Amino acid sequence: MNSSSAKFTPVAIGLHWIMAAGLAIAFGVGQYMSGLELSPWKLKIYTWHKWLGVTLFLLVGIRVTWRLTHRPPALPSTMNQRLQKITEAAHRALYVLMVLIPLTGWLHSSAAGVSVVYFNLFPLPNLVPKDKALSHLFETFHQTLNWALLALVLGHVAAALKHQLIDRDHLMARMHP
């Protein structure tokens, strides 16, 4: 089996697609809720967004652990070294953003003085004291990192489509269930 047809493990594939769906939903909900006027509905949406963020934070921890203990299939040998390095750097950046985005959201909530209570059952500790300026800073980081993640994800999808439609190296099959 050549390197472009070797598959990721079923766990890696499942985590990839669950994270992709969760990130898309969290981003969409984040965009939606930011335009709402203050109301009980907006507060409910914020709560759901936080629950999803905590869930994704936990899942990325599992995903990083899995990735560190299960080597991914090699990139196609037809890919030049420079492009392989760029691909590896982009994947590392995706993981870093998947950690930093929920963390900055949690920091923003902490600094805003609004504790995160996961599923209304598990209160998470505030990471920083209440501070309006710090809350605004973390909110800005959270939003900026989300846009950076969107750009990276769009690049990731474009690269996958290029491999499938132009290179025809069947790289996308590695991530199919």
pLDDT (tens digit per residue) in 72-102 = 998 888 889 999 999 999 999 999 999 999 9
**CATH (one of 1.20.950.20, 2.30.110.10, 3.40.50.300, 3.30.70.2610) for 10-175:** 1.20.950.20
Asked if residue 142 lies in contact with residue 105, where contact means CB atoms within 8 angstroms, the answer is yes
Q: Write phi, then psi, for 75 (nearest 5 degrees).
A: -70, 160
pLDDT at 5 over 80: no
State pLDDT tens for residues 123-146: 999 999 999 999 999 999 999 999
Q: Please count the other Cβ atoms lying within 10 Å of the Cβ belonging to residue 80.
A: 8
Secondary structure of the chain: what % helix, strand, coil (to 5)? 70, 0, 25
Asked if residue 6 lies in contact with residue 169, where contact means CB atoms within 8 angstroms, the answer is no
Q: Provide the token pair at 42.
A: 């907006």
For residue 30, the surrounding DSSP H or E stretch is helix 10-34
Calculate the average pLDDT of the chain: 94
What is residue 78's predicted lDDT score, i.e. its pLDDT?
85
Asked if residue 73 lies in contact with residue 166, where contact means CB atoms within 8 angstroms, the answer is no
Cα-based torsion angle of the residue sequence 50, 51, 52, 58 in order, rounded to the nearest 10 degrees: 110
